Amino acid sequence: MNTTRHWPKRAFILSRALSRAFSDTPSPTFPLKHVTRSNFDSALVELRSHVRAADFVAIDMEMTGVTSAPWRESFEFDRFDIRYLKVKDSAEKFAVLQFGVCPFRWDSLKQSFIAHPHNFFVFARQEIPLDRTSYEFLCQTTSMDFLAKYQFDFNACIHEGISYLSRGQEDEARKRLISPKGDQLMHPSYNLRETTDLSLVRVADVLFTERMKKRLGEWRDDLLQNRVGGPQEEKVPDDLNQQFRTVFFKMRPALSLDGFTSHQLSLIRMVTRKHFKDLTYVCFNGESTSEELVVYTDSESDKARLMEEVKNDHQRRAEMKINAAVGFRHVIDLLSSENKLIVGHNCILDIAHVHSKFLAPLPSTAEEFVSCVNKYFPSIIDTKILLNADYTLQRKMKRSSTSLSSAFSLLCPEIAHGFTHNVLSYEPCVKVEVHVDEMRSSNWNSGAKHEAGYDAFMTGCVFAQACSHLGIDFQLHSPSENLTQNEKLQKHMNLLYLSWINGDIIDLRTGNRSAELSGSNMIRKPYRKILFKNIVLLWGFPSKLKPSMIRDCICKTLGPTSVISTYCIDQTAVFVQFSKAELVSDFLNLKETLEQSNDAISHLHPLSQLLEGGNTRAASYETYKEICASPISKVLFADQAEAVGIKWKTELLPSDKEESHDNTRSHLESAMDSPQAVEKSKTRNTEDVVNDSSNKRFCDDIIDSFLKVEKIRRTTNL
């Protein structure tokens, strides 16, 4: 009998046996502490103790999007400062929906890390009316679809997400609290200062004030005559009884006002101030409601004490409201104050969001950005830096993708797949045990990918395993040892990928670009050298033109080797990299001249195809930076440039560069007077096509050479 026919059945039996060997019992789902508004206060207390005991804290975020327009993607032709501007735009435009925080503590008795993964739902809302504008953010459809694919709970986020105030917003709220109008922070109608008299222009207002004066006088007189029962029922209409109720406020008799409009209350306040020296109008804010009162005081000093007590109450409640509105920012403050090592994976955007949402608006330069980040978080490790800086780790990962899930699966297989025994030949993995409330587990099914808390947990596990490969022996690790001072981690500390595409690394200590360590180049595709001073930015050209066609147009004019490459930004814009820097000014001047001319020669010129329609714009690379720095985000780059306010067609270079260009042009003109120059133009080896209108013979020679060589070649008319 052919035994090969039974292989599928044997394979199935073997797989079942291996499955049982990996785990004797079914693995529970991954324990994760979800935190919303309802349990935030208690969770913060627990988190504070975990962070203080932690050796490091891993973080991760889920956001509503990454790029606000296709042209804001990270490009090969982006300069270092441009890359920062694109990160800045992303952090400013999109919202954080989940924030994962996972403290890791080494337990020397268990020879294992103890992890406490927290998954915070975050949603910014106006808890305090600092201004009249509401929070706005963008949503990128691909990002939202991605979150939905992994069962993100949008309802929990929006209804129960924890709000927050940045440090700047908190400072603004406190300044308003101590200002003369600060008490209005809690209640718009409350004002301790005496109000100006209202104009009684309506008969109804006059009648109402007279009635209130009488009613307040009767109540005050009853108090003075020690009528404990209060005002007599038969003297007061029923509707008025329902609006007045005698109570005690801070050990003083008071009338509680109910059912009046805001205008009527203002009139009562005025009557009280003008006609009753021993009565004081007070607006008191309770836990959930506010109450309007008229309080009796038996002296001026008693009145002053009452006002001071009320003012202190308002400030105390405002302080409580501000502290509550700070919300999730308390977590950021905790991470900063404890000065722990913060670990993220490819986390430049995460750090930018932390700065933008919780610290202050992002500055315009990378140098200012890192100065603030380093102040609050002096020790940050990017696990993607670790994975790409060490050849041993790359070999361990078989030069695979360095995405978080891939790194977690390859470096931490026992944790990722819930293995309890090393049945296969996996290398020993740094052990991790998860503690969530009363639940403890070192064996689980993951299944929670792309929840920020679980991704933070994966990041911490990858970091622990990477440290082990770097030679850090946690079995010798003592609780007093600080990982931020570890010599083997120092060269990787505070280095983040500003762009993974080109290997741009930003040093958070200086804000400068840092070269990748040697190991990373082994898996990276080599990119061409880019000279930004040799680049021209083109946009608004006819939609039918492709980058290759634009290159041909320019090469027909400036020579076949004049353009090194073209790079598509979107369907409305391209970069053109010239072989020499002087060709940038040559091209810009030539374009400007052709657009000002309207003769037959200009219409036959090779660039006429590029300039067709009259909407083509051209500028040096610095204009690209200006456009990227704008907070505006249009889908098409050409629309963005127009929205930014760039109306001109050609941005000529500064005068010193144009002077250099003029000298070059004069040199070429002198050389072109010789027969050799005419022959050189026939073979298309000239670097530039130059025509002096004062020298007709020179112009005719150029035109003839084009017509003879390519029959319908077009020329210029400078």
pLDDT (tens digit, 9 = 90+) per residue, 57-80?
Answer: 999 999 999 999 999 999 989 999
pLDDT band at 141 (very low <50, low <70, confident <90, very high): very high
CA distance 437 to 151: 23
CA distance 222 to 224: 5
Sign, Cα dihedral of 500, 502, 503, 507: negative
Closest to 448 (Cα-Cα) out of 143, 95, 118: 118
Domain 7-164+328-514 classification at class level: alpha beta
pLDDT band at 240 (very low <50, low <70, confident <90, very high): low
For residue 687, what are its two tokens?
A: 């670097």
Run of H or E residues at 253: strand 252-257
Question: Which pLDDT score is estimated for 426?
Answer: 52
For residue 180, what are its two tokens?
A: 């003369």
- The 3-state DSSP composition of the chain as helix, strand, coil percent (nearest 5) reads 50, 15, 35
Note the residue count of the chain.
718
Cβ neighbors of 89 (< 8 A, separation 6 or more) are 68, 72, 628, 631, 633
Q: Which of 132-136, 262-266, 306-310, 626-630 holds the top average pLDDT? A: 626-630
CB 654 within 8 A of CB 677: no
Sign, Cα dihedral of 446, 449, 454, 455: positive
DSSP label at 480?
A: T
Angle 141-366-530 (CA atoms, 0-180°, nearest 5)? 80
| pLDDT over 70 (residue 11) | no
CA distance 287 to 238: 30
Burial class (CB in 10 A: 0-12, 13-18, 19+), 566: buried
Q: Which residue has the higher pLDDT, 685 or 470?
A: 470
CB 96 within 8 A of CB 414: no
Beta strands, E only, 398-556: 432-436, 439-441, 495-499, 504-507, 513-514, 535-539
Token pair 């010193």 is found at 656
What does pLDDT average to over the chain?
80
| pLDDT over 60 (residue 482) | yes
CA distance 620 to 611: 17
Closest to 246 (Cα-Cα) out of 272, 228, 262: 228
For residue 24, what are its two tokens?
A: 């004797």
Question: Which pLDDT score is estimated for 515?
Answer: 67
For residue 235, what are its two tokens?
A: 């003297």
Q: What is the pTM of this model?
A: 0.79
- Partnered with residue 440 across adjacent β-strands are 435
CA distance 570 to 580: 25
Q: Which of 576-585, 680-689, 708-717 holds the top average pLDDT? A: 576-585
pLDDT band at 199 (very low <50, low <70, confident <90, very high): confident
| pLDDT over 70 (residue 131) | no
Domain residues of the chain, as ranges? 7-164+328-514, 186-315, 532-673
Q: What is the CA radius of gyration of the chain?
A: 36
Beta strands, E only, 548-661: 563-570, 573-578, 617-620
CA distance 231 to 246: 9
Token pair 């009884």 is found at 241
What is the tens place of the pLDDT at every residue in 325-362? 999 999 999 999 999 999 999 999 999 999 999 999 99
User: Could you tell me whether strands 290-296 and 279-285 are parallel, antiparallel, or unpaired per DSSP bridges?
Assistant: antiparallel
| pLDDT over 50 (residue 712) | no
